[in-house]
């Protein structure tokens, strides 16, 4: 495995807490802590990215499905009118 040396600047409090983790034996050294933390962060980012891709795919599918419905042919005003009518019907069934 090839390595690159990197210099970073940290707030003192973060560095001190990190140093404590190394001293307590959670990590063999500071570099090990940074590598481990970066791996966890990158794995989390990768999972988020894949979920975002899935979400975008679902949105596209829903939009495509809506293109084939009668709603796609209705004007904004017609849709609002229909929503109001449905809301009134639901309200009457629930509270009427």
pLDDT in tens, 50-96: 777 777 878 788 878 878 787 778 888 888 898 899 989 988 888 87
In a domain, 33, yes or no: yes
Phi, then psi, of 59 in degrees rounded to 5: -60, -45
In angstroms, the Cα distances linking 63 to 32, 55, 57, 84 are 47, 12, 10, 22
In a domain, 78, yes or no: no
pLDDT of 95:
81
pTM over 0.85: no
In a domain, 83, yes or no: no
* Domain limits for position 52: 12-70
Whole-angstrom distance, CA of residue 36 vs CA of residue 30: 10
In a domain, 81, yes or no: no
In a domain, 27, yes or no: yes
pLDDT digits (tens, 9 = 90+) for 10-50: 999 999 999 999 999 999 999 999 999 999 988 888 777 77
In a domain, 90, yes or no: no
Domain count, the chain: 1
Q: What is the 3-state secondary structure (H, E, C) of 56-95?
A: HHHHHHHHHHHHCCHHHHCCHHHHHHHHHHHHHHHHHHHH
In a domain, 30, yes or no: yes
Whole-angstrom distance, CA of residue 22 vs CA of residue 95: 64
In a domain, 63, yes or no: yes
């Amino acid at each position: 495995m090839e390595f690159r040396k990197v210099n970073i600047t940290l707030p003192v409090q973060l560095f001190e807490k990190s140093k404590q983790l190394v001293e307590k034996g959670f990590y063999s050294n500071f570099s090990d802590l940074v590598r481990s933390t970066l791996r966890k962060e990158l794995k989390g980012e990768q999972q988020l990215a894949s979920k975002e891709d899935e979400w975008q795919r679902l949105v596209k599918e829903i939009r495509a499905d809506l293109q084939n419905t009668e709603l796609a042919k209705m004007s904004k005003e017609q849709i609002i009118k229909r929503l109001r009518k449905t809301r009134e019907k639901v309200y009457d069934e629930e509270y009427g």
